[in-house]
Structures are given as C-alpha cells and as structure tokens.
Structure 1
C-alpha cells in the first residue's frame, strides 16, 4: 500500500484541523417592518464581509480547513496566510488579516476557528477559539486566548455547538476531548471511548450535536451519543477526512488509492467518483448549503476540485496551491 505520503503530510499539519433577539409583533404591519429590517441587516453583513475581500491570484499553503459560508455564498479556505475565497468562479482573499487559522469550521453565518494571529494583530497568541459572523471583520472570543491552539475542532453548522480535543491542560480543561452544548458558553469532558489511532480531524452534524465523526490513521469513527463512545465504520483503511450534511456523513480514506464515500444516516453507503489522483488523498470535504450536488474537496497535495453533479464531473480550482 502506498501511503507513505500520508503520515508526513499529517505530521506537517496539512491535515490537522480537526450565532438573536426575538421581538413580539403586535400586527401585520410591524411584522413586515421587522422582516425588512432583518433583510437590511443581512445585506449589511454580506456587504461588510465582502468589502474586506480583494482579488487573489496567487498560491496558498498549509490549508487547515475549508467550507461554504451560507451567509455570503463563498467557499472559504483557511490557509497559513489568512482566508482565501472562491465564489462564482473568482478568487478573493481577506485583506490585511493574515491569521494562521487552525481548526477552521465554516458555519451558516460565518466561521469558528483557532490558530495564531497575524503579527500585526493585537490578539493574543494562540487565538483560543474565535467566532466571526461577518467574514472575519470582527471576532467574538469563546475562550482560551493565549492558552490553547485547537487543531481538532468540530462545530455544528447550524447549532454552533462544539466538540474539541485539548492538546494540553488550560484554565478549564485537562488534556482530552470536550464538548459544548451551548455554542461555547460552557464545556463538559467527553470520554471518546472506542477511538483508535491518532485523531487528525473531527466533524459534527449541522443540527444534531450527538452525531460526531472522528478521523484517525486507523479509520473513521462515529459517535451518536455526543462523543462518549465511538464505533468504527471502516476496516483496514487510513482515515483522511469527514463532513456531515443534514442527511449523510461524507468521509474519505486511503488504502493504496483515495476513496470518497457518502454514508446515509441510516447506514447505507455509496462511493463517489473522484478525479484522477496519484499518491494523493482527500483531506477536506464541503457541500454547498443550497445545492447538495455541489461538492468541494481539498487534497494532501494542495489540489482543490469542484463538482456540480455529485462527482460525475470535476473541475480543478487549485493546482498544488495555485489558484485556477
């Protein structure tokens, strides 16, 4: 089996990784006014996020997360030098904010991340856990700034809940797995029984925080009890990536060749055809929130591909880190 490339990539960090006020309206007119205000606010958020973006025509390295942000329709790549965005066939980047993001998770409204700040930033190093709802213009601190860089972190796309691995003790955690059922307000330890090998990535269902996937060099593991226990869903394969949609777990493995599988929550599985790869494997997976046929993958060799038809045809948008 040719998988010698995988472990150095993982060790180097290419594969590590792993959001309202209510108003009671008195009549239809006030409800309409509230709807218009909400629409204006959402437009302002989109505008503020996209005003940060400038054209990008370079290359990126050390990608530590990828995902679609529903709020503004972009496919975000968290790189060693900030966020790069692919939208409608064009590339942009967030100007003047070149944070080294780790454990990056896109959400419906923005993203949650850890990592290290840009040298020009006044944020402490490491970042701890940060959340942004405006494309990176502003950050909410969810804790652990100056304490912990979380590489393995899963966030519910809609719920905002979290499941993380703390690599060393901090002010609230010992070394080990922890979960938050209130979007980062409080934390509880998770036993994570049943996981084997070295965990390199975590994923959480967008709504059901009890469903968590763990990726390790010994396979793909699934929990349905919030991370207390895991069972393996692969056999004799090297786990490389995982992603939850509302109705399925997408996961990738390597055993002489790259493999991408869609596993329905009922357990039924189907292989998804991949573009041609040579000693390469999928390390990040994303699905467009409004188009379930549109998938994106990022590979260990720095390539990224898009499909509009669930894998029948793929278009390369990154070639060894260079935008296409």
Structure 2
C-alpha cells in the first residue's frame, strides 16, 4: 500500500508539472515577439501587475516589457478607447478580423492580458473614443458622442461597473474634449484635456476649473494618487504636475519634440519614477528617473 501510494503521489506530481508546463506554454504563446509598426495608437498604460506597458492599437495590443516588444497572437481588436487598471484594462472600439464580437464592441474589460473580454455594455451600439477608468476603483467616466439605448450625448460617470450611469453637468468645461482621466481611487477628481486647455473637477464632474495656461491646448491628462500630470501645447508642449492637495504646479521635463507633443501619459504603479509618453506623431518614450531623461522606444510608430 505504501509503495502504491508513493507511485500515485509521484504520478500526481508529474501530471501537475506537465499541466503547469502546458499552461505556461499557452501563456507564452498568447504573446509573441513584435518587430514592426503599429497603426493608430489610442491608449497607453501599465495594465495589471506584469510590468508591461500596453499600447492599444488598430490591430490589437502591443506590449513593451523589460526592454522587449511583444504582440498578441490573437484578438486583433481595434481598441479605440483604452484604460489601464490594476487588474487589466477596459476598452472600446471595433472587433478584429479574428473576432466574433459585434461591431462596435461597446464597453469591454479584460483581466487576463487581453486573452478574453468581458462585456460591460453597449455591444453593437457604441464606440467610446474618450474614456477613463479609476485604476483601483474601476469607476468609469466617458464621453458619449451618439445616442444609444441608455445614454444621450454627454459625459457620464458609473460607480458600479456600468450597471448605472449619471450624466455629469461639467459646468465650466470649455472646448472639445480630447482626453479624460479619473483619480485611481477617489472619483470626485476628474480631469479633461480640451482644445481650450486642461480642466480639473473635484466634485465628480459637476464643476471644472481651468488649471493650464488659457491660450494652450490640452493634449493629455493622467492621475496618480497625489497628482494630476498634464500636457498642454502653445507653440511648444509643456508637461506639468498638479498636486491635488495644495494646488501646487511643478514643471516636468520632456524629450526634444519638434512640432509634436504627448497625447498619452502613463506611470508605472510599482515604480513611480517610471513614466511613459506617446506623441501625436507616433513617437514613444520611457523615463526611469521621473522625466529627467528619456529613452525613445518608438520612432514613427515603428519599434526601436
């Protein structure tokens, strides 16, 4: 009996190792090396807990991790809206050629790196280009540009993962909205970049105040727990940090950009010194020293 039990234990271990090995191979197979050009990047962020910097592109996800580039081997969806969260990402857009999702895909989320998508709502109805999700709260703020079965045109906030929506009044917000951001855990803070500047709300979007220079165009906004990072453009791009507790503004640094400026900002939640930007002309840079120096990782949307 003892010998038989020992054999059974060994077999169980072997099977477990084999299954685990197959699982790891499957995990690796979903991401394959990437050396090419990505089209129409619509979002950027450190999604989940794997240190990867995710780019939402016209042909699916591209990932920059530990100095190497990867792409997914399936799910080539056109992720038009994209928001990284602590467990993965939320997105909107259109299905890829390999997908059986309706067009548009509405609002979806993935907590496994993009292998599977979970429906939040609006499938076959809406494509949200401008959206943001709280990194830890998962509260959703979005711009609805066309009427659907639930929402008319406007800016909406959901604090229950899309079960219900509240239209925000956005008093004081001026211009066409180019980008939105919502605080990681406290959804009373919402920021908007418009062609009239960068605006901040501290009452869940009820009222907004201009925090950038009045003549500048707002191009990018990003929250961490303490600060709002934003970029505005007036002849040249300007990268700044706004402390939400004391309203102090501090200048950050940018790489040399010629007739160009960041449209997306990301920060690694595991290492706040790590920043990333993506620009209008398809350049991407990463910094490991809080913007003091930058390394270019995309040149005209082609990996470096």
Q: TM-score, normalised by structure 2?
A: 0.90
1:314 to 286, 289, 294: 294
**Partner residue, 1:288:** 268
Give matches, 1:1-324, under 5 Å.
Answer: 50-234=28-212, 235-265=214-244, 266-324=246-304
**How big is each residue's C-alpha offset from its partner over 1:82-103, in whole Å with a ceiling of 9 and x where there is no partner?**
1000000000011122110011
Structure with larger RCO (C-alpha < 8 A, sep 6+):
1
**Partner residue, 2:17:** none
Task: For 1:46 and 1:207, locate their aligned partners in 2 and report how far apart those are by CA, in whole Å.
Answer: 33
**Partner residue, 1:28:** none
Task: For 1:84 and 1:50, locate their aligned partners in 2 and report how far apart those are by CA, in whole Å.
Answer: 14
- Equivalenced residue count is 281
1:45–1:134 contact (8 Å) kept in structure 2: no
1:159–1:183 contact (8 Å) kept in structure 2: no
Could you say if the C-alpha distance between residues 113 and 252 of structure 1 is closer, same or farther in structure 2, counting changes exceeding 3 Å?
A: same
Offset, 1:70:
3.5
Cα root mean square deviation, aligned: 1.5
1:50–1:135 contact (8 Å) kept in structure 2: no
Secondary structure of the equivalent of 2:45? strand
Larger radius of gyration: 2
Secondary structure of the equivalent of 2:49? coil
In structure 2, stretches of 5+ residues that fail to align are: 1-21
Offset, 1:210:
1.0
Secondary structure of the equivalent of 2:122? coil
Q: TM-score, normalised by structure 1?
A: 0.84
Could you say if the C-alpha distance between residues 107 and 45 of structure 1 is closer, same or farther in structure 2, counting changes exceeding 3 Å?
A: farther
Offset, 1:46:
9.3
Secondary structure of the equivalent of 2:151? coil
Secondary structure of the equivalent of 1:73? coil
